[in-house]
Structure 1
Amino acid sequence: MNYNVIPTPDFKKLFKKLAKKYPSLVSDFRELIHTLSEKPTTGTALGQGIYKIRMSISSKGKGKSGGARVITFLVTPAMEVYLVHIYDKGELDNLHKDQIMKLLRKAGLI
């Protein structure tokens, strides 16, 4: 069974901004969407259905460690994975749990 992968409005805005800076992000991201639909628990579990995924950006040339981070929220009964936030590891070191919870509330997910 495949999960539906759904971007939040904030995610779409951030993704568009990053895609302008890194043209390969769109194709790199397609692979991630495919992976998430089949294995929604991809990444590091942060608790409460929240996951942080390390993603490489080909046009950046730094691999996963210097690439992007994607925050996802898993809703198991509905078989949905929400894309909550994306950021460039070079611009933001980390996103704290309280910031993630605020994003989830803003998106109406909790």
Structure 2
Amino acid sequence: MNYKVISLFAFEKQLKRLCRKYPSLKIEFANILEQLSSNPEFGTPLGQNCFKIRISVSSKGKGKRSGARIIFHTITKEETVYLLSIFDKSEKTNITDKEL
């Protein structure tokens, strides 16, 4: 079963900025989209049906620990995944409960 993946406007804006900074992120993000559509609960649960995915950014030259983070929300009944936020771990360490 494939889920529909929808990115919010704020997510698109953040992704565009990071792709300019790290060109390899486009390819890595495409791979993540494939995984999300087939397995929407892939990642670390944050509560409230929200999950976090850690991705390594090869143009950064570091691993997952200092790569990027994608925060998304899954609605099982609608078979939809909403991409909420993407950020560089070096710019922002964690997301607060209020932001979630």
TM exceeds 0.5? yes
Residue aligning to 1:15: 15
Aligned ranges for residues 1-110 of structure 1 at < 5 Å?
1-100=1-100
CA-based RMSD: 0.6
**Which secondary structure state, in structure 1, belongs to the residue aligned with residue 95 of structure 2?**
coil
Q: How many residues align?
A: 100
The TM-score with structure 2 as length reference comes to 0.97
Query: Shift of the alpha carbon at 1:58?
Result: 1.1
Query: Shift of the alpha carbon at 1:97?
Result: 1.4
Aligned-residue identity in percent: 47
Task: Could you tell me which runs of 5 or more consecutive residues in structure 2 were left unpaired when the two chains were aligned.
Answer: none
**Which secondary structure state, in structure 2, belongs to the residue aligned with residue 98 of structure 1?**
coil
The TM-score with structure 1 as length reference comes to 0.89
- Counterparts of 2:24 and 2:98 in 1: how far apart (Å)? 31
**Which secondary structure state, in structure 2, belongs to the residue aligned with residue 59 of structure 1?**
helix
Task: Could you tell me which runs of 5 or more consecutive residues in structure 1 were left unpaired when the two chains were aligned.
Answer: 101-110
Deviating above 6 A after TM superposition, structure 1's stretches of 4 or more consecutive aligned residues are: none
